[in-house]
Structure 1
Amino acid sequence: MTTGSAWRRLGGRPVWQHLAALVVVPLLATSAVATTTVADRVAELHATGEAVELMRAGAELDELRRAVDGELLPTLTRSATRDPSSFDIGAFGEERGPLNRQAEKEVRSTREATDLVLSAVPATSAASVTARLTQVKLATARSAADQGTASTAALADRYLELSEWLSEVEDRLLARTTAAGLSEDSALAVSDVVVVAGLTQHASRALPTTFTARVLSGDEQVRVRRRAEYAIGAYESMITGVPPLSGARQRVAWYEATSSPQARQLTEALHRESLVPGSLSGPELLRLRNASGARDRDLSALLGEAVDAAEAAIEAERREAARRVSTTVVLCLLVLAGALAAALAQGRWLSRSLRRLADAASRVGEGQLVDVPRGGPREVRTAAATLAGAAAGLQQVREQADALARGDLAGAVRDEPAPGPLGEVVHTSVQQLVRAVQQREQLQGELAHQAAHDALTGLPNRAAAVRLLQSALHRSARRGAAVGLLFIDLDGFKAVNDTSGHAAGDEVLRAVAARLREVVRAGDVVGRLGGDEFVVVAEDVGDVGGLVDLGQRIIDAVRRPVPLPPGAGPGTARVGASVGVAVSRDGGTGDDAGDVLLAEADTAVYRAKARGRGRVEVFDDDLRAELAARSDLEDALRAGLARGELSLHYQPVVAVADGRLLGYEALARWDRPGVGRVPPDVFVAAAEASSLVCDLGRWVLREATAQLARWRADRPASWGAAEPTVAVNVSGRHLVDPRLLDDVDAALAASGLPPSALVLEITETVLVDGPLALEHLRALRARGVEVSIDDFGTGWTSIGQLSTTPADTLKVDRSFTASDDPGCRDLVALVVHAAHTFGLRVVAEGVEEPEQLVWLRSLGCDAAQGYLFSRPLPAAEVAALPAPGALHAGDRHASTAG
């Protein structure tokens, strides 16, 4: 008998008719209306809240942009007045000195103001990321400005590009605000904010760009002048006519801000300068700062009023949207309450018949076969008729459920289903459930793999690699073993990306990952930290030598050419690798042990790159002790320099032809309290690792020139003889310091010596340090200071470059002077001949034997210094040397012994 015929025989109304009429239809209608309406209202609330956040973020960025613009003027003024070679000197005239001092004060005050604005940006603001990026960019620009490593034009570009970038971000935020689906009133108020923000951008940028164009020269001046003319023109265009604002109060404030005496004065002056460039001098432009500041403060207040008005409009819109949501929810609840009341009445009738059926079902569930009463709706009576037939399949269903509960998926699926429709449904459901569980387990495995692995290379990502490293540390600590970590940083990968594209770069990363898997030991873990950085975690490390060998194998594997697929660039790409090695020690397994080991390996790879790339460096106790000792030495040297612990020794330089005393080389010496004499190559190297070498160089300049001045006064040269000179070594870092020329001028001025009395010695390597080094050397020679290239022959200077090298003297390194090798002797002869050809003098270092002096005299060498004449002596002992005139080898100072 079919189900339909059983229903007709039993009679009664179907239960779905009762439920559909009283519950289902109202619930469906109410749910549809409620869902649609509430969704619309919530969308409105979200739109208004987002609009307020974006607008506030835009206002925060506008304030930050104005602060950055405020730093530009004093920063450029200080740079321009400090470095006359980088600006139009006519822009300042005689006011350069006072302007420089004033600029120093204003740099500090404007930076403090900018830092306050940065710190005021909340971390939750939409502008927080931009603020952090601005902080990083500002730090770079300030550092370049303070250290003088960037020209005035470069500083101007950095600040102007930062200001324009902030304007672009601000415009994008405000554009998103206008597109947030606001009401007409709110949209108009937000539009006012956008217009006023645009006006403030052009206004605050007009004076700084005009000043920048005035102080620069050449192509930089033309380029910046275009920016200034655009800002001035855009500002004047906006303030012409009726203010394009919707609020009357804002229009009045607009007019007052743009028409005040200060604003008119500023507008007229900048307009005149844009029409006739150079009509205003640099100081005259700087005196417009007060007018610009007053005008910008008025515009800032106008922007604040516009933001407040927009927030008020949006807040009113938000309250209205919230009211509509509340009303909609109340109405929906009332409809649902009515439907539920009707359902309860109908449910009471249904419950009586269902209760009887439930009692029978309970007994059947207990294994009792009983007569099932048949009453109530048709479905209830049909259920009672089929309940007895269903009892037979309950046992099988229970067995399947028990199998599922135990996780026995194979046992849960039977070949034959339970009898009846219920058996078929249960059988199908169990099959679907088993498949769903299996698919879920498979998906969970795939998701877990994706979360822990790099999508490009398939290697464990940074988080997974750190976890694996931490686990390896715990395992090794229990076994008493060590864990090694290799940090691999690719060399030249950026060039591949830049020249061949990112597709080629991706192919290189995949190839490197595959080669790393091939090279490492079984059980080692290879991971990608991101970018072009990889790590290898090696457990049970026997010695560091094995890790170094592994690192070298990695370098050899990585440097092989990588074939590129068609369309990904040229046929092949090449990269290299630098490897840093760190080994766990003391069984450390703390929460940060993995991070510490990773940082040590990173430090080692940094040293590998610093020493030439393509090599393996180990972070061991020597490196740790070296770093600690270097830091301690640097601190002690800084303190010793301040306490006067350093002194100068002087070694004479004599003429090879007749033994005349030509001058002295000043050499720094340090007797460290509690330690004793510190070798110069040790403490000078520590100083060169930081800016301390510049302080040391200034001190040597002052002391050496002052001492030579005293000697000249005490022991004047005989009539017709040349006065002795003093040579001072200048480090590469000091040579590119913007203050070098001032340091030399100050030392000469304090001592009263002529520039020709000072010789500055530099090494060959500084000649390739950049254009600033060559520029300083040319400026020093133009002043009359002599330049000598020290240790010539040990660096990379070509003899063919001597004609263009800004130097007066070459000093041949002692390794060539003292060598008996015929090749070295021929090289010295070549250097002497080439130097004389190009008009340079030659000084031979390290002359210790009379035979060497005879040989140098035969070559025509100009001068020499060394123990044959005198070792470096304190100033008091130099006084015992012969007076300027002659210092023959046979007249060496008695203290040269030892």
Structure 2
Amino acid sequence: MHLSALVAVPLVGVAVLTAATTRSSIAEAASATRAEAAVGALAHLDTARSSVEQEILPTLALAVIDRPATATDLGLPVAVLAQQRAMVQATLQTARATTDEALAQTARGTYGADAAVRARAQLSTLRDRADTFAVSVEGIYLGYLAISNDLVHTQRAVAAAATAEGLPPRTQRAIQDVQVVAQLATAASRQTPLYLGAVFGGTGTLIGSQLAWETGWLAYSDALEQMQELSQTSLRTAWEGARGVEVSRTLDQLLGPAPGGGRPTSPDVSRMLSLLQQSGERDALLSGLVHTAADSARASAAADRDQAVDRRNRTLVGAVLVVLLSLLSVLVVGRAVARALRVLAGQAGHVSDGALVQVEVAGPREVRTVSAALASAVASLRRVQEQARAVARGDLDNALLAEPLPGPLGEVVHASVRQIVSSVRQREELQSALAHRAAHDPLTELPNRAQARQLTESALFRARRSGAMTGLLFVDLDGFKAVNDTHGHACGDEVLRAVAGRLESAVRSGDVVCRLGGDEFVVLVEPVAAERDLLELAERLIAEVSRPIAVGGHQLRVGASIGVAVGRDAATDADVLFAEADAAAYRAKRHGRGRAEVFDETLRAQLADRAELEAAVAAGLAAGEMLLHYQPVVDARTGQLTGFEALVRWDRPGVGMVPPDVFVPAAEGSRLICDLDRWVLHEATRQLAAWRGSVPLPPGHPEPTVAVNVSGRHLADRQVVTDVADALAASGLPAHLLVLEVTETVLVDDLVAIEHLVALRAMGTAIAIDDFGTGYTSIGQLRHMPVDTLKIDRSFVASTDPGASELVALMIRAAHTFGLTVVAEGVEEPGQLDRLRAEGCDHAQGFLLHRPLPPAAVEALLARTAVPAPR
């Protein structure tokens, strides 16, 4: 009984599969039948459409003959036309009879019946009105054309229904051939009326429009082109025959546009009557070609139907045979298998109780197969047991754990082992990835600034031991900012990647290319035989970088200025070598760009001067010579004061006020910038806290903030978080009133600095991107950066270049989209402020609003908005 049940399961599957296959075959046969009917309707509809269009010319001719005034307007001889009236009348009656018969056949079918009924009703009305002169000549033409268009649209709908039946490609192509031929027949049948209308009609009528004639000729030409795509060889042969008939060639020459353009030449009456006859002959020829294509498509659909019926019959016969053979097998094998299965069932019972007994393989073939499977399962269970014991012992290097195990239990154990191994490997890969990320530039995958310094230190150490020279080439790109400004930061990133690849391909295998950040690279060369070798390498690098770079369909060009420095003695360290190469690159830029300069004694003297300035800055900072000026930041809409930017100044004894662009770069070359930043943080927070205590503001007036610039070097220092916290604690200023301004380069290139920004932001301070648009940050990166404010660089605010204002508007909208506030820098003209207000900019600062003010002037400014003291 159980065996019978096991056999019945596949039989049920066979029955289900047979039923599904049979239903599919029946559905295919029905689809083919419907497609065959649709193709037949296509032929009838084309006959009806052709007949309707055949009525146009005789109907128009009768209208002209019976209305002498119309003939006179068209310049036609009434007497000659009247002689042809009987022939025209006979032609019209024949065309009407053909039309009525085709519409009657279509109305009796499944497809297009509604259109046929509608066409008969419209034709009846139109004919009556034409026969009683109740409609104009143009109205007759447009009426017939509307009926013809309705039939053409119905043809397309019927063709779409036929192709939607899911037929084989061969039949689909045959149906498409019918559509192509029908389209040609339609375009051809409309040529003669449009041609005659262009000859005799005026420019103010639709029929007489030369544009209508030319458009009709273009449609006919397009249809001729599509005839080249017919899929059936026999149909293409029939078309070539029809195309070669004299009447087709004659009409193509007559009805086509004149070589010089303009309105076609007016034919005489006899030639016009011959044209009408030839047009009818060609229409009949093309209508026959449509029927030929339709017959071929119907034959293909019928063949599809017959094949579907044949598949259904074969499926049914095969299913019956399978069922009969299965039942016979059950009767023959059932008794022998049942007896052996009882023995096997006992052994399986022991296994299910947890006793991994030895399974004996005996009995009929079917039972032996099951017994062998059970024995294999028992062996697998033993391996599962051994693997479980190995895992329990912690023996994860056991080779047995690498072997896959069958069965659910084996999969669980093996998956557990794989998970353990995978976890260990993932941890190792993560550590490797973090180490790589900390030492490499994420954009180009080159070693970053920190790694470049470490590699240079190691190279110099090896050089000291060997006595060899070490070379460092500082590569500063020329024209890269123009690429960013013109094509966007994403394009600039692609250029940087291309430059990195070119630099790597141009150096020796042992030399190292690093990216310091922005558009600055260095090449570490060791060992160096002679200084001229470094100059030759620099010239090669300049040539490589200067070649055009294809990005996004554009051919972009950048150049390179290279500074060369050589480490020759044991006293040189990495920082010195970097400073020398940087100074040489700066001189290369000043001397015309696109060149290489070697660090020499002149530059050494300049560096000495810079070191002297750095020492003077350090001494001035210690002596209290530094001071802060504060540039107000206002609400762009209301003009209300919202904060200040702290700007450092140096009142140097004997010199006077030193601009920050003179001494700040010197401080940025060393850790002195961290000391300067620390002093500015403490002084700015102290000053704002003092103003808060001495100058009370009116209710509802926002508390002003103070913005302090933090250098990239200081931000990368792990002490920066402590420095900010100490300044806030010492001054008592709430953290949310302090804004830390950083450059874009820091946000893009320094992962450690970004971590520090996250910590500072968590402390409550606000973070602003300073001079946005001059670096390499794309707008899309803003959403992932730990910032609160975007400060648009003054160069964009003041620019009069085309598209500059749109770029500023884009920056403002993008910042607002990511929840950032916007401050526009360098506002110096009323028109600039008006544009910023119109674009919804939040805040503004610049000389138009306020110049940087000393503390006393700021206090006076605050006093003007303060609450009056009580009397």
**What TM-score do you get using the length of structure 2 for normalisation?**
0.36
**What TM-score do you get using the length of structure 1 for normalisation?**
0.35
Q: Which has the larger radius of gyration?
A: 2
